[in-house]
């Protein structure tokens, strides 16, 4: 396989990566940890270029470096995708389950008590009485 064809294959992989992360839905680059495989892939790509231009263009070393580059790009993509989904559901929840539970219980109790006074009405009346008593004490 010609060196140019090898680089075209690598460029297709990088174009695919670019398309996945440049559509506005991916996190910003500073918000994610890039895998070490991408750094190693870049080094193998550069080494392939050096070997290809310095020695024979059909050198097996050049082919080995560019093949490792492609393999590392795929590996890095997998690691990156796994890292993006490592956020737990607890961190993404908007309302804690206990908050929802208290709303459900309140609604159930309202259904059961109907027009009868519930516990919150009793406490509210008690607070009003305390305010009146304390207001009367402060004026004397």
At 58 the pLDDT is 61
Residue ranges of alpha helices (H) inside the chain are 3-21, 36-54, 60-84, 89-92, 97-113, 119-139
Same domain, 72 and 101: no
Same domain, 45 and 107: no
Collapse the DSSP code of 86 into the 3-class scheme (helix H, G, I; strand E, B; otherwise coil) and give the result: coil
Nearest C-alpha neighbor of 73 from the set 41, 121, 31: 41
Same domain, 84 and 101: no
Indicate whether 25 pLDDT > 70: no
Same domain, 39 and 108: no
Q: What tens digit of pLDDT does each residue of 111-139 get?
A: 566 677 777 788 889 999 999 888 877 65
Q: What is the pTM of this model?
A: 0.52
Range of the domain at 117: 97-139
Domain count, the chain: 2
């Amino acid at each position: 396989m010609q060196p140019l064809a090898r680089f075209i294959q690598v460029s297709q992989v990088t174009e695919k990566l670019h398309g996945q992360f440049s559509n506005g839905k991916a996190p910003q680059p500073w918000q994610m940890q890039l895998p070490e495989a991408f750094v190693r892939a870049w080094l193998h790509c550069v080494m392939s270029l050096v070997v290809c231009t310095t020695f024979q263009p059909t050198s097996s070393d050049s082919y080995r470096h560019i093949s490792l580059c492609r393999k590392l790009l795929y590996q890095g993509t997998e690691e990156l995708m796994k890292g993006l989904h490592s956020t737990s559901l607890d961190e993404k929840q908007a309302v804690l389950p206990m908050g929802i539970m208290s709303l459900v219980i309140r609604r159930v109790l309202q259904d059961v008590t109907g027009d009868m006074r519930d516990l919150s009405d009793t406490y509210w009346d008690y607070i009003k009485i305390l305010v009146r008593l304390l207001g009367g004490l402060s004026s004397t």
